[in-house]
Amino acid sequence: MTLHHPHYQAPERPVRPRDAASLVIVRDQGGGPEVLLGRRAARHRFMPNVFVFPGGRLDAADHDVDLAGGLNHKVADKMHRKWPPRTAQALAVAAVRETFEETGLVIGEQSNGRLRPNLSGIDYVARAITPPDNPIRFHARFFTIDARHASGDLRDSEELHHLQWFPLAEALAMPLVDVTEFVLQETERRLGGWRPPGVPLFSYRHGRAVVRYE
């Protein structure tokens, strides 16, 4: 399943993608790796009713959040090749904030509804850009973290329903959009010990998906 939607009408000119971030949370309780996925609400114009990772748009406020811990230097170095430090940090904050809002899971510290993200356990694993003929486009950065860094009680939200932990092999067999499937494949390969030659960019050219490592 691609990111094209059958009811979309292609714009006359490509829409500028909005900055976004998602978080792949992985756990292993002895039976093999599992990932957290939820189904997007039917009211969404973008990818309704499909299973995705927690995530969403970058907010302006994500640039000025009090942190409980910053990016580790290896992840920061990877991101600073493409974006200024303030932008790189804000993208990771967005992934953690959206995860908190959509799932109730806290990565950092939370008091009276206020979240202080801890980014030290996060890795940056991929980015993707929605096809140019879509009227709704995102430039999404995908991060990953071990579930041991998360606290709180998992709960559905208005954004994501049917949140649950899926065995990685089961998740890969689900009818997912191609970007989600690709990120899961990258996750599986990394967990198996593979070291990528860079950070993959998943994009589209002439209607076909293209992957390039940067």
Which has more pLDDT, 164 or 9?
Answer: 164
Cα 42 off chain centre by: 19
Q: What is the pLDDT of residues 119-144, one digit of tens each?
A: 999 999 999 999 888 888 899 999 99
Long-range contacts of 8-11 (CB under 8 A, 24+ apart): 8/133, 8/134, 8/135, 8/136, 9/135, 10/133, 10/134, 10/135, 11/133, 11/135
Quote the tokens at residue 180: 């989600």
Residues constituting the chain? 214
To the nearest whole percent, how much of the chain has pLDDT over 90? 75
Kindly report the pTM of this predicted structure: 0.90
pLDDT at 48 (0 to 100): 52
Q: How confident is the model at residue 3 (pLDDT cuts 50, 70, 90)?
A: very low
3-class secondary-structure state, position 24: strand
Q: What is the pLDDT of residues 24-33, one digit of tens each?
A: 999 998 889 9
Q: What is the pLDDT of residues 61-101, one digit of tens each?
A: 999 999 999 999 999 999 999 999 999 999 999 999 999 99
Tell me which H or E stretch contains 86.
Answer: helix 85-103
pLDDT at 6 (0 to 100): 42
pLDDT at 154 (0 to 100): 96
Q: Please, are residues 38 and 104 in contact by the beta-carbon 8 Å criterion?
A: no
Domain boundaries, the chain: 18-129+139-198
Q: State the fold for domain 18-129+139-198.
A: Nucleoside Triphosphate Pyrophosphohydrolase (3.90.79)
Where do we find the tokens 């006359």? 12
CA distance 106 to 104: 6
pLDDT at 12 over 90: no
pLDDT at 107 (0 to 100): 98
pLDDT at 133 (0 to 100): 82
Q: State the Cα angle at 158 between 152 and 161, rounded to 5°.
A: 75
